[in-house]
Structure 1
């Protein structure tokens, strides 16, 4: 009688190790697609550049006064009722950097209760 030869099969963990290795390589490549900024680079300063707010936005200054297209606005409800009906779905607020947050929240709530569909706060985009 002959003894049956033991079957030599591939180890199932080898396939798993290969998949994990390929995933590691993929994430290494995907993570380096965005080239980091050169540390010696100094960005352009735009402090003297005059920025303009969007035309239909309510500008709120640091002291709480509001303007729309350069003219003073008494309150948020008066601003909202002066808007054309097609602009009432999305109302834009441009707050000053030094405006207290509770004032900004109060203005947003006043616009929402006046009937604004969406209140958008326009901000300056920062560099990540």
Structure 2
């Protein structure tokens, strides 16, 4: 009795199923995007090109020389953290840094603020939009 070789089974390509799923997701998002309401064509968005920027009143300001200011007065790290605890943000401290502050100084001040009890330090920046 001669031994026969078992017939080799062809395996289906697993990437075909993945391609089908991706295609279905593409169709779904195209339809969902088309059904989403668009902006009214008569609406003109607010322009902030000439908006005068200033720090929010309850933020700590870090000047280029590394000093901290709050409400126009020089404060210590501990005073800044204590003042932020009394504000609406709780233990989250908002910090406005001068653009001339070296990154090393900024990071050391943030570490000092975190060490003094601030849970998180939010850096307030200016958004530059080009038109």
TM-score by length of 2: 0.56
How big is the shift at 1:89? 0.9
Equivalenced residue count is: 103
Structure 2: which 5+ residue stretches go unaligned? 1-16, 37-46
Secondary structure of 1:97's aligned partner: coil
Tell me, which stretches of 5 or more residues in structure 1 are unaligned?
1-15, 34-43
| 1:43-90 Cα distance to aligned partner (Å, 9 max, x none) | x784x64312111111112232321112223x3223224x16433511
- The two structures, once aligned, show a CA RMSD in angstroms of 3.6
Q: How does 1:1-128 map to 2 (within 5 A)?
A: 23-26=25-28, 46=49, 49-73=51-75, 75-81=76-82, 83=83, 85-87=85-87, 88-127=90-129
Runs ≥4 residues deviating over 6 A:
16-19, 29-33
C-alpha distance in 2, partners of 1:125/1:85? Answer: 27
